[in-house]
Structure 1
Amino acid sequence: MTDRTLQQSAQFISGIGPEMAALLARMGLESVEDMLWNLPRDVLDLTHVSRVEDLQADELQTVRGQVVDIDGRMLNRGRVLTTCLLDCDGAYLQASWFNQAWVRNKLVPGGTYLFSGKPKRRSGRWEMSHPRMQFLEEDEQSAHGGILPKYGLTEGLKMHTMLRLMRTAVEEYSDLLPERLPESFRTHFELSTLQEAIRQVHLPNTMDEYNAARRRLIFEDLLEFEVGLALRKQRWQKQGQAPVLPMSAKIDSRIRRRFPFQFTPGQNEAITDVVADLQRDIPMHRLLQADVGAGKTVIAIYAMLVAVAAGHQAVLMAPTEVLANQHWQTLSSLLFDSQVNIQLLTSALTTAQRREALTRIKEGAVNLIVGTQAVIQQDVLFHKLGVAVIDEQHKFGVEQRAVFTSSQDSPHVLVMTATPIPRSLCMTMFGDLDLTLINDKPPGRQAVVTSRIMGVGARKKAWQFITKQLQTGRQAYVVCPRIEVSEQEVADPLEIPVSAETVFKHLSHNELKDFRVELLHGQMDRERKQATMERFRNQETDVLVSTTVIEVGVDVPNATLMAIMQAERFGLSQLHQLRGRIGRGKYQGYCFLYSEADSEEASQRLATLEQTNDGFQVAEADFELRGPGDVLGTRQHGAMPLRVAHLVRDVKVLEEARGAAFKLVESGRLHDPEYQSLHRQVEERFGSLLSLTPGG
């Protein structure tokens, strides 16, 4: 037999062999180590399954039985009731769900399930409302008692076989796992050893044992990543020196006089954070999060004007030309009678205009530069850059932020987003940034009334409401998921078309034929887009049919209505961004979510928007349903480099691990001999991803 190592092929585990190893390889399980880290995706707790005869009213209990009847019916006011009868060894329990029609598709007639809930006795029979259900696979149905791990499978591999292989792998090889956390550290955080944790997560005797083992594995997974982030933050703090930008009551007063309104308490707190950073020679790296309409641009302008007051330049980078133009117009309006020179730098400039702009920037004749990614091209040389603001950070990669921080003389960097980012994502993907939140909104801003529209009758009523509002002088957006669709996709003429092109034609000749309707989308040329937006801003157009090109940066206070076609095709945070375009003035805003989708996810997502206007609550719900890639609108962000942890479920462990990681790095203890193994592991796992230098 070969020497026992974690790296050797899984086929050397007793009972596997080449044929079974090929099946496991399909699941990415090629080595012994892969097998040990193939953690259960779930566990069945069969230690507390109750008989129907022994149920107690209003106490959380679990029963086990076979589905013998499924029924779904419509109630009044469009509500849906789904019921199911469960045969539990000859005794029966009825389960019911209101307005969750998707449940019917998840129930398999004759299937065996665990139902967990708080039962009630009605008309001589036990009932559960909205129970949690777990389907039992064929080879799990014979299990009685104990804790049963559930693993991912592949074709040709049964659960009972997988359970046997995992038990053998753990019993033969778990003693080879190296311990990277010192005993004193484990004691402080009440963590078992790695070997104990791996054994108990695969072969638990109780749920408490399983949960403690998972916590140990999750903690280490998150600790290693957060140590990497702390090392990266420490590196950029040491490598560059930023200009000290002094602040005074006089400068503060001069800046505030430029704004025709009082700052909100949230804006004032954000300014306090930013000003404290600007007065240090350590480069600011701050993430400013604000809900839609909370006024984050005010903070950006304030920070840039502090730099100008100190004789430095400032740059604002936006993800689109539409948004860059809007920022440039805002700044030009605020500073029209000042001595501050502003330069717009986008791909719209001619070669000659760009050459002249670059010369003025290099010589210091320009104070503020506003643009797209054009501002970070190699030929853009700043005279004396003090502050860089990156708007809608998630639209850019880490590399673009790094452009401003790679030199010895680093500017202060303020990263902004109006897409509220879930707390756990902030602590991981943006974990090397300091965080400022603005939760409040300017006074007078009303919550947008949001309604899901389903069925022909509801659609008709919604359009009647919209036309009445338009007649009073209000304006509307109609948002579509795509620009155009093929003829095959519009097979049913009774269905509302899903593309901007076809919706525009349909509404112009039907529901909105008495109003001035225009079309806007990303494939139009720049001049036409700007002219269309300008007419809408000037109230020369009543309705704008568009794609998500209006998602960010469009501000028309008189626009109070929004109809979003096929709303289920959009992410929750994106829908929240879109409705943030309306209700920005003194009039009440109304958002209609047109959707015919009847799935669990669609129902939950759209119900969330109806229930809250709080972007942070929306972001958490979106993250829980769809994961990080979709929340941020960029799929490549979705591949979190974590082995065990789940950023929604494990947020409390994440906070604990993050605190421990940053203390280790900031105190210098990470370089102590007892933490050498942990330090090495961090560099092996995340050195390339986080651009860590050797030795941290």
Structure 2
Amino acid sequence: MDAISTVSWDSAVQTLPGIGPARAALLLQLGIGTVRDLLFHFPRAYEDRRTPAPIGTLAPGGARTVHGEVVMRRCIHLRGGKSMAAITVRDGTGEVAATWFGRGFLARQFPPGTRVVLTGAVGVYKGLALRNPEYEILAGGADDRLNTGRVVPIYRLAEKLTQRMLRRWISDALDACANLPGDPLPALLRERLGFAALPDALRAAHFPREIAEGERARDRFAYEELLGLQLGVLQARTRREAERKGYAHVAGGPLLAALRASLPFALTAAQRRAIGDILADMASARPMVRLLEGDVGCGKTAVALHAIAAACDGGFQTAFMAPTEI
């Protein structure tokens, strides 16, 4: 059995090929300590590198992706101790420059003959130039299939980590974790919302066939997170209601009846509904946790007076605070 096939969901990232103690420490800067953490380090964006633009068709304006071979590199020293890396890249249709202001040291990474993928805004610097483009150096191996010729994920990085490293490690983790834990979203809910199952959603989030597929997969995990928060709030409320006992107020006493009879106006349907919900809560022994929300002048004070009258019918005191005049 291949060693990578034994990696589990909760395994340390060091169990993946190519990650030793030093790189594991770098990943911790991103909050990544386990294989699960790595798989949930979702891309911040995607780039479509399936159809790179021929260099000969480039024009100023907009971001483009090109593939080519480095034919020249240099570090340009500027005033004030600044430097700029500049390279020239050629494909079968022409040449274009790429420049990185303030990063002259990058020139060392592009010896002539290097195959690169560049993505950036097309501008003009002594001719057409890609300004501060994102770059990938193609090694000519199997890893190139993760970095070009497809929709490519772009990740948040830490010092000394590269996009190429993260793509390879995440791809290895996806292949290794064939037996994932149970999907937290029930099948019926996934079907109703149009979400993929957990294994398919993870792969689509990192290596989608289309950008829309990756964005949809990330929507699934955002929904899952928000659903978990909402369920946590509901569970906390349930525990609170079970553990704490409140007072069961009188919901139909004389003071409440007198208030209703004295009102010089008819309550709206929304007011009657809110009053009914509040009085039902007050009549229960469960503590009430309720927020009454409404625009200025919509009748919130009249609703609050009904709760006060019900409390007084039971012999309880109330405190009424109003930041504006009644």
Instruction: Tell me whether the two structures share a fold, i.e. TM-score over 0.5.
Output: yes
1:151 aligns with 2:155: yes
1:138 aligns with 2:134: yes
Q: Deviations over 1:664-694 (max 9, x none)?
A: xxxxxxxxxxxxxxxxxxxxxxxxxxxxxxx
The residue number in structure 2 matching 1:535 is none
Relative to structure 1, the CA distance from residue 7 to residue 256 in structure 2 (aligned partners, 3 Å threshold; closer, same or farther) is same
Structure-2 separation of matches of 1:183 and 1:262:
48
1:43 aligns with 2:46: yes
Paired residue type of 2:233? L
The residue number in structure 1 matching 2:248 is 243
Aligned with 2:217 (options 183, 206, 213): 213
Relative to structure 1, the CA distance from residue 235 to residue 22 in structure 2 (aligned partners, 3 Å threshold; closer, same or farther) is closer
Q: Deviations over 1:494-548 (max 9, x none)?
A: xxxxxxxxxxxxxxxxxxxxxxxxxxxxxxxxxxxxxxxxxxxxxxxxxxxxxxx
The residue number in structure 2 matching 1:668 is none
**Shift in Å at residue 296 of structure 1?**
3.7
**Shift in Å at residue 269 of structure 1?**
4.3
Structure-1 separation of matches of 2:179 and 2:190:
19
**Shift in Å at residue 294 of structure 1?**
5.0
The residue number in structure 2 matching 1:309 is 313
1:198 aligns with 2:169: no
The residue number in structure 2 matching 1:161 is 165
Structure-2 separation of matches of 1:297 and 1:227:
32
Q: Deviations over 1:397-416 (max 9, x none)?
A: xxxxxxxxxxxxxxxxxxxx
Relative to structure 1, the CA distance from residue 271 to residue 246 in structure 2 (aligned partners, 3 Å threshold; closer, same or farther) is closer
**Shift in Å at residue 63 of structure 1?**
5.4
1:25 aligns with 2:28: yes
For the residue of structure 2 that corresponds to 1:286, the secondary structure is coil
Could you tell me the TM-score, scaled by structure 1's length? 0.31
Relative to structure 1, the CA distance from residue 197 to residue 187 in structure 2 (aligned partners, 3 Å threshold; closer, same or farther) is same
1:4 aligns with 2:7: yes
Structure-1 separation of matches of 2:236 and 2:155:
36
Relative to structure 1, the CA distance from residue 256 to residue 140 in structure 2 (aligned partners, 3 Å threshold; closer, same or farther) is farther
CA contact (8 A) 2:12 2:35 kept: yes
Q: Deviations over 1:36-58 (max 9, x none)?
A: 1111122234568999xx9xxxx
CA contact (8 A) 1:44 1:150 kept: yes
Q: How does 1:104-503 map to 2 (within 5 A)?
A: 112-113=120-121, 137-139=133-135, 146-172=150-176, 174-181=177-184, 183=187, 186-187=190-191, 189-239=193-243, 240=245, 242-247=247-252, 251-254=256-259, 257=262, 267-291=271-295, 294=298, 296-315=300-319, 327=321
The residue number in structure 1 matching 2:63 is 64
Relative to structure 1, the CA distance from residue 236 to residue 19 in structure 2 (aligned partners, 3 Å threshold; closer, same or farther) is closer
**Shift in Å at residue 303 of structure 1?**
0.9
The residue number in structure 2 matching 1:685 is none
Paired residue type of 2:252? M
For the residue of structure 2 that corresponds to 1:138, the secondary structure is strand
CA contact (8 A) 1:49 1:64 kept: no
Structure-2 separation of matches of 1:246 and 1:237:
20
CA contact (8 A) 2:259 2:306 kept: no
Structure-2 separation of matches of 1:16 and 1:255:
72
Structure-2 separation of matches of 1:207 and 1:227:
30
Long gaps (5+) in structure 2: 66-92, 95-118, 123-130, 139-146
Paired residue type of 1:251? L
Structure-2 separation of matches of 1:34 and 1:302:
52
Q: Deviations over 1:306-355 (max 9, x none)?
A: 21023333345xxxxxxxxxx2xx7xxxxxxxxxxxxxxxxxxxxxxxxx
Structure-2 separation of matches of 1:206 and 1:136:
26
Q: Deviations over 1:624-664 (max 9, x none)?
A: xxxxxxxxxxxxxxxxxxxxxxxxxxxxxxxxxxxxxxxxx
Paired residue type of 2:161? L
Structure-2 separation of matches of 1:4 and 1:65:
38
Q: How does 1:479-628 map to 2 (within 5 A)?
A: 553=323, 555=324
Q: Deviations over 1:9-34 (max 9, x none)?
A: 21221122222222112212122221
Q: Deviations over 1:557-579 (max 9, x none)?
A: xxxxxxxxxxxxxxxxxxxxxxx
Aligned with 1:13 (options 8, 13, 16): 16
**Shift in Å at residue 152 of structure 1?**
0.8
Structure-1 separation of matches of 2:300 and 2:203:
50
**Shift in Å at residue 176 of structure 1?**
4.1
Highest Rg: 1 or 2? 2
Structure-2 separation of matches of 1:193 and 1:264:
46
**Shift in Å at residue 159 of structure 1?**
2.3
Structure-2 separation of matches of 1:112 and 1:248:
73
Structure-1 separation of matches of 2:11 and 2:169:
16
Relative to structure 1, the CA distance from residue 30 to residue 235 in structure 2 (aligned partners, 3 Å threshold; closer, same or farther) is closer
Relative to structure 1, the CA distance from residue 218 to residue 305 in structure 2 (aligned partners, 3 Å threshold; closer, same or farther) is same
Paired residue type of 1:175? A
Structure-2 separation of matches of 1:273 and 1:47:
58
Paired residue type of 2:63? R
Paired residue type of 1:221? E
Structure-2 separation of matches of 1:208 and 1:261:
54
Structure-2 separation of matches of 1:292 and 1:141:
61
Relative to structure 1, the CA distance from residue 250 to residue 23 in structure 2 (aligned partners, 3 Å threshold; closer, same or farther) is closer
CA contact (8 A) 1:45 1:148 kept: yes
Relative to structure 1, the CA distance from residue 263 to residue 312 in structure 2 (aligned partners, 3 Å threshold; closer, same or farther) is same
Relative to structure 1, the CA distance from residue 140 to residue 262 in structure 2 (aligned partners, 3 Å threshold; closer, same or farther) is farther
**Shift in Å at residue 140 of structure 1?**
6.1
For the residue of structure 2 that corresponds to 1:43, the secondary structure is strand
Structure-2 separation of matches of 1:276 and 1:215:
38
Structure-2 separation of matches of 1:46 and 1:268:
60
